[in-house]
Structure 1
Amino acid sequence: MDTQSVITRTITVSGGRFAPGHLGELTQHLPFEMVDEALTATRTTQSRLRDLPSRVVVYLLLAACLFPEIGYPGVWRKLTVSLTGLPLVTPTTSGLAQARRRIGVAPLRWLFDLLRGPAATVGQRGTWWRGLLVCAIDGTILTVPDNPRMLARFTKHPGNHGGTGYPQIRLVALLACGTRTLIDAVFGPTTTGETTYTPHLLRSLRPGMILLADRNFGAKDLITEIADTGADVLVRLKNGRKMPVLARYPDGSYLSMLGRLLVRVVECEITISTTAGRHTGVYRLATTLTDHHHYPAAELITLYHHRWGAT
């Protein structure tokens, strides 16, 4: 005789203007229970009822990432525009900024560590290649607010990045190519280079991954560190770099050494088409996948194209 057990869980949630459904699509991706758990785990839940409870502030900050150009008051209006008929508060810019400082970065870091990852599906195009999860690493420059707190750590730089005159940060990210999902990220002052930040991402590499990277990441010690995690690498090398030829294979690739690391080198021509026209360049790729039978050179060249699709 089969028996069944039914477990019912009752959750008490906020009502009125703080009801979770009023926070729009964000609650579909980050349920309010998850946000509450982050606040509890980091001890940042408000100690008394406020017009801006900690849960609401977390969603405000998440929404601010989607609309960085309109400021906190503009984001608040987007979150509350449909709440007609409810007695809403109208927080000032300084009030919203104080609420952000009150909860700090801890709950957001907790949520990031919980959710980061490849989120890869078996059938999604570009996610897997010959049983390996296809990932890419790259860096970019972002602007941050021009205020004394930011200037104490970050530097202003002249240039054409759209934020001339603003402090800037360097962000280096590890992504899953098929889903463009963030696996890990690190950021800091632009006075530190991409390859210096990269070792902080090695914690997220593992066997079963293949990492695509451009020639800025082709330093022999860094590639060796990446290979030591068990992940494989497909990296572009600078054309002027001298690579010893240890053995040649029928597909045109050859066995070589990158420092103390045994690699296979593939030389090819790649044409890139953009709105400005077509550009053909000679590329030299190095990979830790040394079996030319199981990992043909032509497929490795095609695979390297996925790096542009993810970054």
Structure 2
Amino acid sequence: MMPPRPARVRGMTLPEMLVALAIGLAVLLGAGQLLVLANGAYVAQMEAAAIDDGGRYALELVARALRQAAATDPDSLLAADADSAAARIAGLDARSVGRTTPGIDDPSADAVAGSDVLAVRFPGSGPMPAGDGSSVDCAGFTVADGEEGWSIFYVARNGQGEPELRCKYRGNANWSADAIVSGVDGFQLLYGIDTDEPRDGAPNRYVNADAVRALDAALGLVDERELHRRTWWKRVVSVRIGLLLHGAKATRTRPGAAAYALLGPAYGDGEGGAAGDTDAGSVLREDAMTPALRLRERRLFTMTVALPAAAP
């Protein structure tokens, strides 16, 4: 009896192998594309979270400084002669300041996208040398009774050319400044002034720093003590803040083309007697930015801080 013939084993033909390779390659490419998209979405989410954290932190720090400056102790250094003392709040439009120069003296016109400067001053509290911890500048340093603290916010570029919002303060021997948040497209401010007589503590107009200075100039006062007594900066009862931030990485697939009204759309229509289109930096357009910046995620943060009435 003849032994059974073994079954004939066939391999894949060349066309079958090519089809299998093509299918495998398509699956691999699809999986790779999904991985790239997932990674891009993760990076974009992380960038957005970082921008949100930085924006909220910066606004809260500015708001805290404003409220602290407004809540003056009647027994403090600044309240001892409140009428003739300088205003606790001051600002500059489309300016920057030096890291080590006193206060906001000697400002520079080299402002990042027309960004503004906000300066607040406040009295210390508690015994020397460290105080009681209730009066703190924007860098976190305590200010003792008999001293005057400063918190100054402005935008400048770091060594890598990246614009950052800085906190300037007065130390024991000199002035210095630290970065609060980087990736700043613009920092804008409006001041709500109480024009009523008698004053009721409510803002009637929102104007920029140049407009406040123009109102002071119109008083025609030469005596510094009298100017301090009647300055319109002492009529500021609220401050509107606009802060536009961008991420550190390019996460967009297409360049952005949005326009951001940092002080609100109404300001561009001339609210408060100063049209937004004449206030440098109050409206920023992505199509005017560099191609690299247009690919970055961007967030606009706004806040209006109502100042507590000064203690009687």
Same fold by TM-score, threshold 0.5 exceeded?
Answer: no
Compute the TM-score of the two structures, normalised by the length of structure 2.
Answer: 0.21
Compute the TM-score of the two structures, normalised by the length of structure 1.
Answer: 0.21
Bigger radius of gyration, 1 or 2? Answer: 2
